[in-house]
Amino acid sequence: MRTNFNILNLILISLGGLALMFIVAPLLGMFLNTTPAEIFETTQDKEVQQSIWLTLSVSFASTLVFAIAAIPLSYLLARKEFFAKKLVLGIIDLPIVIPHSAAGIAILGFISRDSLIGQVADRFGVSLVGNPIGIALAMAFVSIPYLITAARDGFVAVPIRLEKAALNLGASPARVFFSISLPLASRNIVSGMILMFARGMSEFGAVVIVAYHPMITPVLIYERFGAFGLNYARPVSVVFIIVCLIFFAALRMLSRERPRR
């Protein structure tokens, strides 16, 4: 029995190591093939700086704006039962499973000058295509499921008895939501917002169809690879991966479990 157990452990460790190596090896190879001088030179490149700033700021803004509607929707999905709820849940997950080029085509049709939204924006002198607003919409479309799912899980974990007790004591539903439900689900909501932000800033397929210019960093990497080759695109990728790792680390720190007492 002990021999079988050790063999099983050896198999699990070997397979796990292969899976981990599959993730680490390409990234490690890219870092090892990029010199510190190339990384430093890339960080001084104005075009790279502007693209990273555009990527971070647009993704951050889209996360904040869409959170205003996504959090109430998550609460409804966690607390209410209604007709076609499963269909709604499936629709929310749809942007994750469809090709992101198809998502970009869908967003382009939604905001082009022929659409209702595009015509309204035109009246204010704004063209959403090729605009940071269009980029924000494309980022939000592919990343908002992560926020809705995380926030819904957070609201589900809030004990219903606490909400009912507050209601029985005379608190209004709005006060119960803002003083009990929202604070207790805040850890999941923050994690979902960070995940939405991180996923949005890494989006390429949907954004490149809606707005090639101004360039976010994933589009800039693609443009430099197509125009100058791998050696010119690699340092930009390394710098952007470092930025992504910083936010991924923040996500892990904020979403870690509370210590059990």
* Model pLDDT for residues 205-220, shown as the tens digit of each residue: 999 999 998 999 999 9
What does the pLDDT read at residue 170?
87
Predicted local distance difference test score (pLDDT) of residue 8: 84
Look at residue 141 in the predicted model and tell me its pLDDT.
95
Listed as ranges, residues in the chain with pLDDT below 70 are 1-5, 251-252, 254-261
- What is residue 6's predicted lDDT score, i.e. its pLDDT? 80
Query: Under a CB-based contact definition with an 8 Å cutoff, are residues 197 and 246 in contact?
Result: no
Alpha-carbon span 45 to 6, nearest angstrom: 53
pLDDT for the residue 125: 86
Q: Are 214 and 53 in contact (CB under 8 A)?
A: no
Identify the DSSP state of 114: T
Q: In angstroms, how far is CA 29 from the centroid of its own chain?
A: 25
Which runs of consecutive H residues, i.e. helices, occur in the chain? 2-32, 36-43, 46-79, 85-97, 100-111, 116-123, 132-157, 160-168, 173-176, 182-184, 186-201, 205-210, 217-228, 230-255
Map 144-168 to HEC letters: HHHHHHHHHHHHHHCCHHHHHHHHH
For residue 70 the two structure tokens come to: 């996504």
**117/207 Cα distance (integer angstroms):** 18
User: How far is the C-alpha of 254 from the C-alpha of 258, rounded, in Å?
Assistant: 10
Q: pLDDT by residue (tens digit) across 18-55? A: 999 998 898 888 889 899 999 999 989 999 999 999 99
| Residue 213 near residue 134, CB atoms below 8 Å | no
Nearest to 248, CA basis, from 215, 206, 201, 205: 201
